[in-house]
């Protein structure tokens, strides 16, 4: 699963709206929309914050390319 899909799935499992999650993640609702649609990638710092808030393992989104 990629980051946008994982983020949206976990946010929904936790029962959070995009607006509620945006407040917790200290960003705008539009940025959450952009992250979830894959239009924009969060900064590394924001990525780690989102993973922590959603209790996701950041390593699960890292790809090893050969």
Residues 7-28 have a mean pLDDT of 97
| Domains observed in the chain | 3-55 (1.10.260.40)
* pLDDT over threshold 80, residue 29: yes
Distance, CA of 64 to CA of 54 (rounded, Å): 23
* pLDDT over threshold 70, residue 65: no
**Residue percentage of the chain with pLDDT more than 90:** 85
Distance, CA of 46 to CA of 64 (rounded, Å): 21
Q: How does the average pLDDT of the chain come out, rounded?
A: 93
The predicted structure's pLDDT at residue 64: 55
pTM > 0.85: yes or no = yes
């Amino acid at each position: 699963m990629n980051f946008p899909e994982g983020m949206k799935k976990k946010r929904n499992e936790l029962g959070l709206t995009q607006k509620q999650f945006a407040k917790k993640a200290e960003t705008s609702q539009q940025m959450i929309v952009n992250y979830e649609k894959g239009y924009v990638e969060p900064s590394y710092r924001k990525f780690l914050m989102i993973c922590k808030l959603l209790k996701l393992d950041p390593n699960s989104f890292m790809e090893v390319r050969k």
